[in-house]
Amino acid sequence: MLVLIPVILLSYLAGSFPTSIVVGKIFFKKDIRKFGSGNAGGTNTFRVFGWKAGVTVALFDVGKGVLAALFIARIGSNIPLPYTLVQLIAGSSAVIGHIWTVFAEFRGGKGVGTAVGMLSVLAPVPLCIAVLVFLLILITTGIVSLGSIAGAVVFPASLLVQYAVTGAVHISLIIFSIILGSLIIFTHRSNIRRLIDGTENRFDNLMIFRKKKAGQP
């Protein structure tokens, strides 16, 4: 069981790599946490530094989850536990590292990108459903946080349906998906307050069905 310790530590350190902060300081000479929403994640990077930096950060953050669940977890492949559970432990450690990074005063992102990377390894079909819901909300409302919260709810629901229909889902993954969804919603608590107040940030350019203002082509 001591083998779990390096799995957890290495995954946490991988998740802790502060991608957006590094990109901001190296290429823009700015600390992303002092601009926009103050969050050190891909969405705020997109908002503050543009789409190229935003996409780069998002891909790296997703990669951290893939790295933990697909590769670092192999260190614990001989542990007398279901391997899915070992992957969950590794992936969740990376998500925690992303949210509370040791390299930046424990102020990281919201964990969505890293969670997506982990779940792309463990449950690709339910993840695709959650991503489709996220994209649908994004192109109709332009609000990234609302799509993320919806995805955090839809993913465990999809797993439960898959389990009921096929039974081919490890129960630990279902439990974890509920915990992870709750954590993502918790990290979006300030966004939820802004959504209720009607002041949440919106990407109008991503809205396909937005109403055009007078004078716009």
> Tell me: the pLDDT tens digits for 72-87?
999 988 888 889 899 9
What are the tens digits of pLDDT across the range 13-35? Answer: 999 999 999 999 999 999 998 99
Structure tokens at 208: 């396909």
Residue 214: pLDDT band (50, 70, 90) is very low
Regarding whether 139 and 204 lie in a shared domain, the answer is yes
Regarding whether 140 and 59 lie in a shared domain, the answer is no
Regarding whether 44 and 135 lie in a shared domain, the answer is no
Return the half-sphere exposure (C-beta side, CA atoms, 13 A cut-off) of residue 89.
22
Domain that holds residue 53: 1-114
pLDDT of the residue at 104: 87
Indicate the number of domains in the chain.
Answer: 2
Cα angle 22, 26, 30; round to 5? 80
Indicate the residue among 114, 147, 176 that finishes a domain.
Answer: 114
Structure tokens at 19: 């991608």
- pTM (whole model) above 0.85: no
Regarding whether 131 and 86 lie in a shared domain, the answer is no
User: Is residue 34 included in any domain, yes or no?
Assistant: yes
